Homo-oligomer: A and B are copies of this chain.
Amino acid sequence: MKSNLEDIARAAGVSKMTVSRVLRGGSGFSDKTRDRVKKIAEAVGYVPNRLAVAFGADQSGTLVGMCVPRLTSGLFGHVLDGVDRALSRLGYQLMIGATNHSADEEEAWVRQVMAWRPAGLILSGRTHTAGTVDLLRATAAPVVEIWDLTTSPIDMSVGFSHFDCGAEMGQFLIRRGRRRAGYVGALAQTDGRGADGMGAARLEGFAATLSRAGHPLIAREVLHDAPGFYAGYYGLETLLARQVGLDVVYFHNDEMAIGGLAYAQSRGLRVPEDIGIAGWGGMEAASILPRRLTTTVVPTTAIGKAAAEALVARLKGEAGPEVTVIPTRLVPGETG
């Protein structure tokens, strides 16, 4: 990893500049020179120093930063995958970080990653600290906020409305005759910064719709825990212990809903006869249960892809849409 343009230039008996031109493949050299330089570069295993390129341009043209709430989330894994596939094909590098659902941690990450002068950033959610927003506004780098759509993005936004997801599920459950609904969530915000803005927005949309229909949400249980199977299992246990007579429970996500399903079965409750269960997210497992889970499918990979494409378009100077809506799809299933 030691050879540079200078070494190749010396070996080929030309100047650094000629080598640079050859290796980037433009024009300004003879076929003979090109062949000789290329052969030498190949032989010494030349790897261009992107640090030098980026530094010279005071902008690392192929570096993109992406920050997600949790790296262990199945949904975000797919988003990440969508982004990575779209970007790596074009020669971009992905620098990642996790906020652990804390806007302060996000700010710390943004500050760190900005030091690398990335060509662009992809952030998750629309809740950021004032410091983060200042930092980003002071930058020319394009920023895509994904997941939770915002009508006034810092720069660009790709995703859908969590509020609408909740509202749609509320309407659906009302239409199915549900009248006494509960909610089980997780990751209650601990730092007062709207850390779980997205789950909270779904709950709001859900609750608002139920109220409008005249059958308001009766009970809710929000755990200070990772939104996984266990949280769903114990969350439903807690909720049912506190409140009798619920006929449906809406969960923060599918993992929790499947956990809830497991609890209901362990208690001998029939789903959906005794109690309905609805999730959110559309994890693969949900569609292969004995009874298909009633849930909202989120096109995760498509969101990642769209975010990457919006970013790349902006980097190429093309004028793209400020807001890209990627619609979710309510899947009726057999548990709601």
Contact = CB atoms under 8 A, between A and B. Distances in A.
A288 interface: yes
Interface in A35-77: 45, 47-52, 54-55, 58, 60, 63, 70-74, 77
Interface in A132-180: 134-135, 138-141
A290 interface: yes
Interface in A55-114: 55, 58, 60, 63, 70-74, 77-78, 80-81, 84-85, 88, 91, 93-98, 109, 111-114
Contacts of A258: 285, 288
Interface stretch (A7-15, A202-210, A243-251, A259-267): A259-267
A122 to B, nearest CB: 13
Nearest to A62: B112
A94 B93 contact: no
Interface stretch (A17-25, A187-195, A227-235, A316-324): A227-235
Contacts of A2: 138
Given A93-B112, A262-B290, A290-B266, A45 B138 contact: yes
B77 A73 contact: yes
A220 interface: no
Given A72-B78, A109-B88, A288 B229 contact: yes
A96 to B, nearest CB: 5
A298 to B, nearest CB: 14
